[in-house]
Structure 1
Amino acid sequence: MVPNPIGPECIRVTKVYDWVVLTNRDRNKVQIPEECFAAIEDARHDGNTITATCSEVAGTRSCDFIGATPANMPNVPGAQIVSLAFHVHIRVIFFCNGAPLPGCNFVVPVSFMDEVILCFPEGTEINCNIFDVQCTVVLNQMLGDMVVLDVTMCKDVQVEAEVKLEVEAKFCGPRPVIPIEEDGFVCPTPRFPQQCPTFFPTLNCNCQGAAEFNGEASILVFEDGLGGGTTGNLDLTALVCDQCTLTNSRVQVSYIDTLGPTPIGTPDADIDQSFTFTANDILQPSCTTDPATGLVTGLTATGTGVITPAGGAPENATFTLTLTDADPLGDTASLTITSPSLSVTIALTLAANPGLEVEVGDCDRFPV
């Protein structure tokens, strides 16, 4: 028997340098052919019911690379703004009382232009495709001889190059789209296209955690220096590094104040201290390890988001989330949120807040 030992291998592969999924939805006005429009008007005049459908014409999907310009983004070096055009043909059919109308089966082109930030170093190529198209005819928005199509298009965009690699690997997924900023940045010109490690592939987290609470809770809310302790209904959901990546992390809070006695430190009137908060950027968390067992029992995550007070305008905010998983009765979750006019402190314990659920654990990483 020929031995087949496990060892390092050198392979020639198509390497993915960056990967995003884009979605467009738009309403397009399209011209109804003259013969079809006349048939529709005649049918309506006679009191008939007009309906319509639209669907993608098979084999008409296409994607064109338009160009790329450097992006001046210090936090994502090597990034470029790539312009792409996506095209598909849509077939529209009108019906009278469920039967096709003569001359009312026609095809129209639909196109979307996209600009997306990608790691696109010299020597790589753009591979883009449309993987789903949905269409609906909006009959209640017919404008004379024009009809409105509601079209949703889902696209997959990858940056690729053929390289030789010695690797250990895992499955990966697309990263979130990065908002486009102005000005430019010149990419280096490597022998093999140089990776953009700051944003793709995303780094594994060292730990992961989640917390949920929905019920009555006492928290601290200060707005423009006024406020204090308040009791109301708190709905908190936190998910950090699910499956050990930051991609699907989220922190959301909804607080409904129960108006009652004046909070300490406020003028002599009830103040509605309700608010909502949604995180939009979560950084890699720091992990807390039990020295006795070596197990991860807590984490702290920071980031930015948007907080909206009752009756007020949304404000940019920073936050710090700390989770402790100390079974059976020592679970805690604390969250501080700070904006130009608001300061919120939420401190939950399993003893004081029955129903609090906190889970924190280690993440398996590739060996260094």
Structure 2
Amino acid sequence: MSQTQHKERKEKVCIKTRKVFDWVTRQVDVPLRSFSNDDLEDIFPDHKCPRNGKTVCEFFTSNGFDAEEFSIRCFLTDDDGKRIEPVVDNDAFICQEIIQPNGRQPVNVTLPSGETVTLQKVKALVKGHVVVQVVNANGHIVCESKPIPFATAQTFILCAPEGTMLDCHISFFECDASLVCTDNFSQLDVSITLCLEVQMEADVKIEVEARFCKPREEILEATLCPTDKFPPQCPEVFPVH
């Protein structure tokens, strides 16, 4: 057997890796957050919404809010109010298991095949912040809220034996806000929808059949320098023997 064949021979190896025991995705509609009167004034502090002594709704209506001169946008932030991307910055919000006094409770469920299996009840807590901005027709931010906290608790039925850990992240996030200002009524409503991906994981050691790999040949960038090309020779006539 050649040296090359010996190196490429498969063998059984033991590796340590993270195993996913269960994985589900759920759309979560966070309970509506509503603010009115004094709460509304606190949500839009003076240093982020200079109102010159007016209430929030007095400021907006006196500047054409009823004429649709303003638009409202809402987005996910960290606790300092810095905008974040939910898919990338998953460390900026909390997603953790709620530890139950008696541990994860077993639940018997019937699969579509008719088989009955025992799974576990896992509770997850999701917490984060959003910021609401009021923007004029020119795209200028007129008012900005302080970070508004939100939270939701979700219960999942998963394969979660003892030793597994919860791992979750947001794969989609949507926030809508509406401000209602009338003569007798003022209110800000914040609506949040997110897609929560939940996995139960644990580090395991597994045996696999594999062979060791080696680096590939490097692909070099094409050179810009021309290479000399000589015309074909005439050996039959020159040089003369």
SS of alignment partner, residue 163 of structure 2: coil
Task: Report the CA distance shift for 1:38/1:141 in structure 2 as closer, same or farther (over 3 A).
Answer: closer
CA change 1:141–1:117 in 2 (3 A) is farther
Partner of 1:166: 207
8 Å contact from structure 2 (residues 96, 166) kept in 1: no
Which structure shows the higher helix fraction? 2
Question: Are 1:33 and 2:37 an aligned pair?
Answer: no
Change (3 A) 1:17 1:167: farther
Change (3 A) 1:120 1:76: farther
Is contact 1:141–1:148 with CA below 8 Å preserved after alignment?
no
Match of 1:70 in 2: 106
Higher relative contact order (CA 8 A, sep 6+): 2
Gaps of 5+ in 2: 78-83, 210-241
- The answer to whether 1:148 aligns with 2:189 is yes
* Seq. identity, %: 26
Which residue pairs with 2:24 in the alignment?
A: 20
- Give the Cα separation in 1 of the matches to 2:164 and 2:19: 9
Q: Displacement of 1:94 after TM fit? A: 1.6
Q: Distance in 2 between matches of 1:73 and 1:25?
A: 25
Give a deviation string over 1:214-252, Cα, whole Å, max 9, x none. xxxxxxxxxxxxxxxxxxxxxxxxxxxxxxxxxxxxxxx
Inter-partner Cα distance in structure 2 for 1:54 and 1:122: 40
Alpha-carbon deviation of 1:107? 1.2
CA distance in 2, matches of 1:40, 1:50: 12
Q: 1:139 to 1:24 in 2, by over 3 A?
A: same
The alignment status of 1:157 with 2:198, answered yes or no, reads: yes
Structure 1 match to 2:239 = none
Cα distance in structure 2, aligned partners of 1:152 and 1:167: 41
Question: In structure 2, what is the Cα distance between the partners aligned to 1:141 and 1:8?
Answer: 70
Query: What is the CA-CA distance between 1:53 and the residue it aligns to?
Result: 0.8
Summarize the Cα distance change of 1:122–1:55 in structure 2 as closer, same or farther, 3 Å threshold: same
1: CA distance, partners of 2:127 / 2:159? 24
**Within 5 A, what are the aligned runs for 1:88-99?**
88-97=128-137, 98-99=139-140
Larger radius of gyration: 2
Tell me the TM-score normalised to structure 1 length.
Answer: 0.41
Tell me, in whole angstroms, the C-alpha distance in 2 between the residues paired with 1:126 and 1:79: 14
Partner residue of 2:76?
56
Cα RMSD for the two superposed structures: 2.9
The 8 Å contact of residues 93 and 100 in structure 1, kept in 2 or not, is answered as yes
Deviation for aligned residue 1:140:
5.7
Structure 1 or 2: more strand by fraction: 1
What corresponds to 1:224 in structure 2? none
CA contact (8 A) 2:57 2:181 kept: no
**C-alpha contact 1:40 1:50 (8 A) present in aligned 2:** no
1:45 aligns with 2:62: yes
Shift of 1:99: 3.1
Deviation at 1:30, TM superposition (A): 3.6
